[in-house]
Amino acid sequence: MGEEKKVSIAIIGAGGVGRCFLQQCSQILPLYQNVSVVLISRSNRSLRVPSWNHVLSLDTWEKDLAASNDPAPSPQELLDWFGTTENEIILVDNTSSQDIAAFYPQFLKDRITVVTPNKKAFSSDLGLWKKIINSAYPYDPDGGFLYHEASVGAGLPIISTLKDLLETCDEVQKIEGVFSGTMSFLFNNFAPMEGKGGKWSDEVTKAKNAGFTEPDPRDDLNGVDVARKLVILARMVGLQIESTSAFPVQSLIPKELEDCTSGDEFMEKLPAFDDEMEKDKAKAEEKGKVVRFVGSIDVASGAVEVGVKEFDKGHAIAGLKGSDNIISFYTKRYGSNPLIVQGAGAGGEVTAMGVSADLIKAIKDVHGWKIVR
C-alpha cells in the first residue's frame, strides 16, 4: 500500500452546524493517524497553521479563533495555499455561500476533496452543478472526491440511498416526502391525526419560539428550501432541472404579506390570514384526511412540485411526529412498497453528523487513493 498519506482538513464555517461539526471532530479525528485540522475559518476571521507540520487544537479552537486577527481567505487564496503542500487536502464547507460553491470545480480539479452540506452548490445554476459533478472522481479520474449527504435531509441517508438505488441499476420512478423539519413540525401540530390542532399563526409562533424556523419564518414558508432539495435529487435521477423556478413551488406567505419589511411585522399580521389555511385543513378533514407540506418528483413525466397535499390518515406521511422528515423512494425493485427513510431532518447536531460521516468516508478514500486509482 505504500506510505500512508498525511491528510490536512480545512474547515470553512464555524458557527451553528460548523460548531457542532468541530465538536464531533474532536472525538472522531484522534481515531485516525496522520489526519489533522489546518484551517478553521468564519466570515470575518480565520485560524491557520503557520506551517504544514503544525496542527490546530480542537480543544481550544474557539478561543484561538476569537483571538486571531487573520482575515478569512478567499477561495483563490485557499487554492493557492493548498498548492504549497503534498498532503492530501479535504475541504469542509459548512457555509451556504454561493461564492465558495462556485469554486468547487477548481478545488476538485486540483485533487482536493470537498465535503459539504451547502445546498446552493447543487441546486442553483445547472451549469455549475454539471461542472462540479464532472470535476469530481470518478467522472474525472484525476479529480477530488465529493460528498454532500447533508445537503438533503441533514444526517439522514437520503443521498447515499438514492446513489445505491441508481448504482445497483434499480429504476427510480418517484420520490415523495416531507423534506423540511420546520414544515413537518408546523403541519403535524396544525393538522394532527387526532384533535383539532391550533390556529396556523399560533403554530408558526410556537415553531419560531422553539427554534424550528429561521429568524424570519418567511424563509421557511416560501418553500424554497424544500425546492432546493428536490432539485438536487431530481438532477441525480437524470432530470435537467434548471433551478427552483423551473417547477411549481407553493409559498405559504400570503401575497399581502410578501412585502413586510421584517419578520416581526410578518408575524404580527399573519393571524389575519388564518382562515385561508383553516379552509384547506377543513376540506381534508371532511374526507378523513390531513394536509401535509410535501415535495415530489415523478421521474417518468419529469414533473417536480412542492406544496400542500392531502393524505389518508393511514399514509406514512400523515403519521409523522414532531419535526421528522420522511422520504419515500418508489422504484421498480421495491414496487408498491417504497423504501422509506425517516428521522430527524433538521438541527445542528444531526446535520453535523451527516457532514462528519462524509468526512470519515473522505479520510478513508484519500488514504486509499493509490488503491482506488
| Placement of cell 486577527 in the chain | 69
Rounded distance between C-alpha atoms, residue 112 and residue 266, angstroms? 44
Please report the pLDDT score of residue 2 as a whole number: 52
Contact partners, residue 284, CB within 8 Å, separation at least 6: 191, 290, 291, 310
* Average pLDDT of the chain, as a whole number: 93
Look at residue 1 in the predicted model and tell me its pLDDT.
45
Model confidence at 153, in pLDDT bands (50, 70, 90)? confident
* ∠ CA 86-89-93, rounded to 5°: 155
**To the nearest whole percent, how much of the chain has pLDDT over 90?**
86
Q: Render 193-259 in DSSP notation, one character per residue.
A: SSS----HHHHHHHHHHTT-S-SSTHHHHTSHHHHHHHHHHHHHTT-----GGGS-B---S-GGGTT
Distance CA(78)–CA(39), nearest Å, equals 10
At residue 368, the pLDDT reads 66
pLDDT of the residue at 313: 93
Cell of 129: 452543478
> pLDDT over 70 for what percent of the chain?
97
**pLDDT tens string 31-68:** 988 999 999 999 899 999 999 999 999 999 999 999 99
Which runs of consecutive H residues, i.e. helices, occur in the chain?
17-28, 61-67, 75-82, 98-101, 104-109, 120-123, 126-135, 158-167, 181-190, 200-209, 218-221, 224-236, 263-269, 274-286, 348-367, 369-372
The average pLDDT across 106-135 equals: 96
Residue 190, helix vs strand vs coil = helix
pLDDT tens-digit series, residues 74-106: 999 999 999 999 999 999 999 999 999 999 999
The DSSP code for 191 is S
Return the number of other C-beta atoms located less than 10 Å from residue 206's C-beta: 16
pLDDT tops 90 at residue 367:
no
Confidence of residue 3 (pLDDT cuts 50, 70, 90): low
User: What would the grid cell of residue 364 be?
Assistant: 478513508
370 has pLDDT over 60:
no
Q: What are phi and psi of 65, to 5 degrees?
A: -65, -40
pLDDT band at 286, cuts 50/70/90? very high
Gap between the Cα atoms of 188 and 255, Å rounded: 24
pTM of the model: 0.92
Looking at residue 356, its pLDDT comes to 97
The C-alpha atoms of residue 34 and residue 39 are separated, in whole angstroms, by 16
Question: pLDDT tens across 163-221, in order?
Answer: 999 999 999 999 999 999 999 999 999 999 988 899 999 999 998 888 788 888 999 99
pLDDT tens-digit readout, 12-36? 999 889 999 999 999 999 998 899 9
Q: Can you tell me the distance from the alpha carbon of 205 to that of 212, in angstroms, rounded to the nearest whole number?
A: 10
Cell (9 digits) for 185: 413540525
Does position 261 have pLDDT exceeding 90, yes or no? yes
Q: Which three cell numbers stand for residue 369?
A: 487513493
CA 156 vs CA 171, 179, 296, 322: distances in Å: 21, 11, 18, 16
Can you give 6-46 as a three-state secondary structure string? CEEEEEECCCCHHHHHHHHHHHHHHHCCCEEEEEEECCCCE
For the chain, how many residues are written?
A: 373
What is the pLDDT confidence band of residue 372, given thresholds at 50, 70 and 90? very low
Evaluate whether 183 touches 212 at the Cβ level (below 8 Å).
no
pLDDT computed for residue 345 by the predictor: 79
DSSP assignment letter at 323: T
Q: What's the rounded Cα separation, in Å, for the pair 72 and 44?
A: 6
Distance of CA 134 to the CA centre of its chain: 21
Residue 369 has a pLDDT of 45
Q: Are 187 and 206 in contact (CB under 8 A)?
A: no
Residues involved in catalysis: 229
